Each structure stands twice: as C-alpha cells, then as structure tokens.
Amino acid sequence: MTIPATVEEKTYKKNDVKARSLLLISFPNEHQLTFDQYDDAQSMFVAIKARFGGNEATKKTQKALLKQQYENFNASSSESLDSIFNRL
C-alpha cells in the first residue's frame, strides 16, 4: 500500500476509506470478515454483488415474493397508522 502524494490521491483515498467503512458496517458481523480482505471499495462492491446479487431467475423469484407479500398485506381499521407503517 502506497502513501498518497497529491491532493487528488489523498481525496480519493479518504473517500475510498469512507466507502469501505460504509459497506462493511452495513453487514451483520458474520459477513464482515468475508469482505474485509479487499483493499478498495470498488473491488469490495464487485465481490458483494457477486456474492449476494444472484442471477436473473433468483431476482425474478425474489421480486415475485415481495409482490405477493405486498398484495397479501392488510391492516385493520382499529390499528394506528404508525403501527401499520412499521409493519409494512
């Protein structure tokens, strides 16, 4: 790992560290060690997409399940708007 020399390199490195940190804290603890091995945010994001992205059939199935859950969602008139929103 090299030390950034120019202002642009320092800015890039600072933003990359922020992006890597944000990506890592978005995972539960059991996945953090898996992706901590990547040196930059871009390669980490590519690995995340490969691991969790799935193929087109998987995405289509997930989308259909979400639509079905949304269509089956109902709320009683006695329930408050806040509790309905939280459940949704």
Give the total number of structural domains in the chain.
2
Predicted confidence pLDDT, tens digits, the chain (88 residues): 567 678 998 999 999 999 998 888 888 888 888 888 888 899 998 888 888 877 788 888 888 888 888 877 777 778 788 887 887 6
- Indicate if 17 and 49 belong to the same structural domain: yes
Residue 66: which domain range? 55-88
Residue 39 is predicted with a pLDDT of 87
- Indicate if 15 and 49 belong to the same structural domain: yes
Sole residue written with tokens 């939280």: 86
Note the pTM of the prediction, 2 decimals: 0.53
Residue 2 is predicted with a pLDDT of 65
Give the list of residues 6+ apart from residue 23 with CB closer than 8 angstroms, or none.
Answer: 35, 41, 44, 45, 48
